[in-house]
Amino acid sequence: MYDTSNVNTESGWHTMNTHDPSIYKEGDTYYVFSTDFKVGANKDPLRPGIMVRRSKDLIAWDFVGYALDGIPKEAAAWSRATNLWAPDVFKMGETYYLYYAASTFGSNQSMIGLATSASITGPWTDQGAVVKTAKGDEANAIDPNPMFDAEGKPWLAYGSFFGGLYIVRLDERTGKVKEGEQPVLLARRDSRTVAGAVEAPYIIYQPQQKMYYLFVSYDSLSSDYSVRVGRSTSITGPYVDFNGHKLTDSSYQPQAFIGNKLIGSYGFSGKEGWIAPGHNSVLKDGDRTFLVHHARGEKDKNWSYLHIRELLWTRDGWPVASPERYAGEKAQPLNAKMLTGQWERLPIPMAWTGTERSEPIRLLRGGKLESAHGTGKWTFQEPNELTLQWEAGIGKEGPSTERVLVTPAWDWENDRPTLVFTGMNEKGIHIWGKYMDSIKGD
Report how far residue 431's alpha carbon sits from residue 217's, in angstroms, rounded to the nearest whole number.
Answer: 19
Instruction: Out of 10, 36, 199, 402, pick the active-site residue.
Output: 199
User: How far apart are alpha carbons 259 and 164 in whole angstroms?
Assistant: 14
CB contact burial 365-382 (16+ within 10 A = b; e otherwise): eeeebebeebbbebebee
Query: From the CB of residue 3, how many other CB atoms can be counted at a distance below 10 Å?
Result: 13
- For domain 336-437, give the CATH number: 2.40.128.10
pLDDT digits (tens, 9 = 90+) for 393-436: 675 667 899 999 999 999 999 999 999 999 999 999 999 999 99
- Span 71-80, average pLDDT: 98
pLDDT, average across residues 438-442? 75
E strand segments, 15-124 = 22-26, 29-34, 51-55, 62-66, 84-92, 95-102, 110-117
Among 357, 22, 407, which Cα is nearest to 215's? 22
Question: Residues 177, 130: contact at Cβ < 8 Å?
Answer: yes
Q: Is the pLDDT of residue 441 over 90?
A: no
Catalytic-residue membership of 20 = yes
pLDDT, average across residues 373-388: 95
Per-residue pLDDT at 41:
83
Q: What digits encode the pLDDT tens for the residues 15-70?
A: 999 999 999 999 999 999 999 999 988 788 999 999 999 999 999 999 999 999 99
Between CA 329 and CA 338, with CA 333 as vertex, the angle to 5 degrees is 95
For residue 133, the model assigns a pLDDT of: 98
**pLDDT reported for residue 191:** 67
Please tell me which residue in 20, 126, 219, 413 is annotated as part of the active site.
Answer: 20
Report the relative pairing of strands 226-232 and 260-263 from DSSP bridges. Answer: antiparallel
Question: Can you give the pTM of this predicted structure?
Answer: 0.97
Q: Kindly tell me if the per-residue pLDDT of 194 is higher than 70.
A: no
Please state, rounded to an integer, the average pLDDT across all residues of the chain. Answer: 95
Average pLDDT over residues 91-100: 98
Domain 4-321 sits in CATH at: 2.115.10.20
Cα–Cα distance for residue pair 157/150, rounded to 1 Å: 15
pLDDT of residue 182: 97
pLDDT-wise least confident of 13-27, 182-196, 339-353, 375-389: 182-196
Chain centroid to Cα 116, Å, comes to 25
Q: What is the pLDDT of residues 294-303, one digit of tens each?
A: 999 999 999 9
Q: 41-45, 78-82, 119-123, 237-241: lowest mean pLDDT where?
A: 41-45
> What SS3 state is found at 134?
coil
Extract the runs of DSSP E, i.e. beta strands, from 161-273.
164-169, 184-187, 198-206, 211-218, 226-232, 260-263, 266-267
High-pLDDT (> 90) share of the chain, %: 89
Distance CA 386, CA 87 (A): 38
Beta strands 416-425 and 430-437: pairing type?
antiparallel
Domain boundaries, given as residue ranges, for the chain: 4-321, 336-437
In the structure, what pLDDT confidence band is assigned to residue 440 with cuts at 50, 70 and 90? confident
Rg of the chain over all Cα atoms, to the nearest angstrom:
22
Instruction: Give yes or no on whether 4-321 and 336-437 have one common fold.
Output: no
426 is catalytic: no
Average pLDDT over residues 101-122: 96
Cis bond leading into 238, ω under 30°?
A: yes
Give 82 or 372, the one with higher predicted confidence: 82
- Can you tell me the distance from the alpha carbon of 74 to that of 78, in angstroms, rounded to the nearest whole number? 6
How many other CB atoms are there within 10 angstroms of residue 6's CB atom? 13
What distances in angstroms separate CA 24 from CA 31, 34, 191, 198, one per listed residue?
Answer: 5, 12, 33, 24
Query: What pLDDT does residue 303 have?
Result: 97
